[in-house]
Structure 1
Amino acid sequence: MQPNSSSPSSSSAHPPDHPVSKPPPPPAPAMGYPANPSPNGNPGAAAAYFAAAAPPPSAAGAPNGTAAFGVAYRYPAPPHHPPPPHHHYPYPPPPPQPPHHHCAPHPPPPTCLRRLLAAVVSAFLLLGAATFIVWLLLRPRAPAFSLTSLALSRVAYSPSNSSLSASFDAALLAANPNAKLSVTYFSPLASVSFAPSSPIAVASLAPFSQGPGNTTTLAFRLVVDDAYVGPDDAAPLKSGGGGAVGVQVRLMAVAVFDRGGWRTRRRVMRVMCDGVQVVFRGKNSTEAAFNGPPRQCDVVL
């Protein structure tokens, strides 16, 4: 009796000649790129760029049914999107700027020079303060002058050329009102004129000094030789019948006040004795004199 082929024992005792092989798993994405979704929207199916293709069926002679090495196949590149257009907005050019003149800064002065300048300025300030204090303590006052006498002699006037020749003898009384200061007069210069004309005689006098509270008489002679005299000033001289003539006697000098080692700066002093009436003694007289008490003079210092 023939064995039944459909019995379970026979089927389990003899396995099939070719076992059924399972398909290999899908390859991993190549070069680390993420998998792209499939066009049909199936999330289970994915393919990467340049992914390895599935190996072909087992070739004859491959041991244990292993697949051959896979080869890379080209996949379409992703769609190219052009960059958005860039709009260039032109800006107006900046307004022209005026040229700037850059001056190099001056280097600071050295320390020694600044100290020297500070010392000089301090010395001047101290000297000025000391002078001012001394001036306040001493308080120099201008001297006083008065005309004590004035006489004309040898008066000769020529109407043809309006010239005058005469001698003027004057005396001034100078008083120093300072009780602590002495006064020295340098380059004194005396002049005489008929008011209000220019001087007709000028003479230089010798320098002199006055102690504190001193009074000095300064006498001098001025000689006029063929000096021009205007018609108005020479009217009393033309008539020859006497009369009075207005005379100006002036003195100019450089005055310095001193006390011991302290001395003031030089000051120009002007003494003006104006409007002195000189009266002739008689008709056709050649002499005239100032009659009256001493005449106080103006002093400008």
Structure 2
Amino acid sequence: MDRFNAMRVFTRIVELGGFTRAADSLQLPRASVTILIKQLEAHLGVQLLHRTTRQVSPTLDGAAYYQRCVRLLADLEETEAVFSQARHNPRGILRIDMPAGIGRLIVMPALPEFSACYPLIELEIGLNDRPVDLVREGVDCALRGGPVLDESLVARPLVQLSQVTCASPGYLFQHGIPTSAAQLQGHRMVEYFSSVSGKRYGLEFLIDGQLHEIELPKRVAVNSADGYLAACEAGYGLVQTPYYHVARQLQAGTLVQVLADQAPPPLPLTALYPPQRHLSTRVRVFVDWLLELFARPGSFTTGS
């Protein structure tokens, strides 16, 4: 039995909550995963996992063993990277999750540069507007906009994304163009709400350094970034969104920016990864590449 391979399989089962999902994640037959765990438990002389028809969870011994495995595997990966070519040419699967708009409009167009530098890294990319559980879903690194809510994750700030307030030409023709936040009476907004928490978001403006939150009447509320913009283009009201997400619409004239001198606060974009993976060379080079990407002049800020 390859004990390190057995440890890798065991940690994936704990993180994903099942043998089948772990086998799919590691691209192994389920039977091989089952045999490895039986061999590992026999070698250690303890039961590591509770198995039911619905879920798999670690025993008390299994939970303690999992924590040791995570540290050992991280140390092993770092040691191999230091004393091998992997330090300069990392290899393996890198699982990433990011908002759909950032992936589609910013990261994907530039990604061939990363692959050219690191041809042995295989990328698995999830494009989601919902937050993912990095450990449970087996994600190595996630990009998230807004405040970091999970303090158990390692966070590396990437960029402050400029945000804009905008509406469709048809909406502004009907309701007028506001010249200040104080003139928003009689206007409507498209409301964005989180499909996970249910939190609803109004409009925010920075006026003389002070943050002002304004709620306007609405006729449509949506829970996706693309749907939010689609409702705006259809004339349902004002929206606030990162500039990169509407740069093409503003240039094409299908949306119009308003209240530019009372812009929303910038949106922080952060790379997150589990603390036990902070030594991963694959994660490190990818995050370093993201920092370089977002440092370039581009459609990330209204002044670029």
TM-score (norm 1): 0.20
| Higher RCO (CA-CA < 8 Å; seq separation 6+) | 2
TM-score under structure 2 length normalisation: 0.20
Greater helix percent: which structure? 2
**Structure whose CA Rg is larger:** 1
